[in-house]
Amino acid sequence: MSAKERSSMEAEHVPKWTLRRTIPSNTAISSELAAELIDAMMQRDWPASDLFRVQLAYEEAVVNAIRHGNRHDVSKTVHVEMACNDDEIWIRITDQGPGFDPNSIPDPRIDELIEIPGGRGVLLISEIMSEITYNEQGNQITMIKRKADASADGIEHE
C-alpha cells in the first residue's frame, strides 16, 4: 500500500482518543472531563442516545468516587482514564477510599427499598454500560460501552 493510500484510509478513520487525569474530589472538574468525552464520541459518530447514556454512567461513577469513596475529602483525588474509538468507549475511575463490595449493594427496585436512597447509581451504570468490573478492593470501576450493544441499555434498536 502506498503512503498516499494509507493517508487516505487514515483520514476516513478518526484515531482513538484517550484521556488520563487525576482530579481533586470536585464534581465541577469531573463534568469538564465528561464534555471532552462527549466531544470525542461526537467526532466518531456515536448515536445521540449513547452520548447521553455514557455521560450519565460516567457522572454517576465519578460522583460515587467523590461522595462515597473519597467522602468529599479535598486532600484525596480521583484518577480518571477514558478512551474512545469508533466502536467502543472505555472508562476507568479510581478513588482513594477504602472501597466497597458491589455485590453487597441491595437492589433498590425491591419494594422495601423503593423509598430509600442509595444503590441507584450502581444499578443505572450496570443497565447502561455493556460491561462493568470492579477491582478487588472496590475503589475502582472499569466500564465499557460498545456502539452496537443494544442489550446493555434496555432499549430495542432496529
The answer to whether residue 87 is domain-embedded is yes
Cα–Cα distances (Å) from 63 to 38, 55, 91, 93, 105, in that order, read 17, 12, 14, 10, 17
- Would you put residue 110 in left (φ > 0), alpha (ψ -120 to 50) or beta? beta
The answer to whether residue 100 is domain-embedded is yes
Looking up cell 460501552, which residue turns up?
145
Q: Which domain holds residue 91?
A: 15-153
The answer to whether residue 3 is domain-embedded is no
- CATH code, domain with 53: 3.30.565.10
The answer to whether residue 9 is domain-embedded is no
The answer to whether residue 19 is domain-embedded is yes
The answer to whether residue 62 is domain-embedded is yes
If one counts the domains in the chain, the total is: 1
The cell numbers describing 88, all together, are 467502543
The cell numbers describing 1, all together, are 500500500
| pLDDT tens track, the chain, 158 positions | 555 444 444 445 678 999 999 999 988 888 889 999 999 999 999 999 999 999 999 999 999 999 999 999 999 999 999 999 999 999 999 999 999 998 888 776 777 766 666 677 898 999 999 999 999 999 999 999 999 776 554 544 33
Question: Per the confidence metrics, is the pTM higher than 0.95?
Answer: no
The cell numbers describing 108, all together, are 433498590
The answer to whether residue 130 is domain-embedded is yes
The answer to whether residue 10 is domain-embedded is no
Concatenating the DSSP letter of every residue in 85-137 gives -SSEEEEEEE-SS----GGGS--TTSGGGTTS-SSHHHHHHHHHSSEEEE-SS
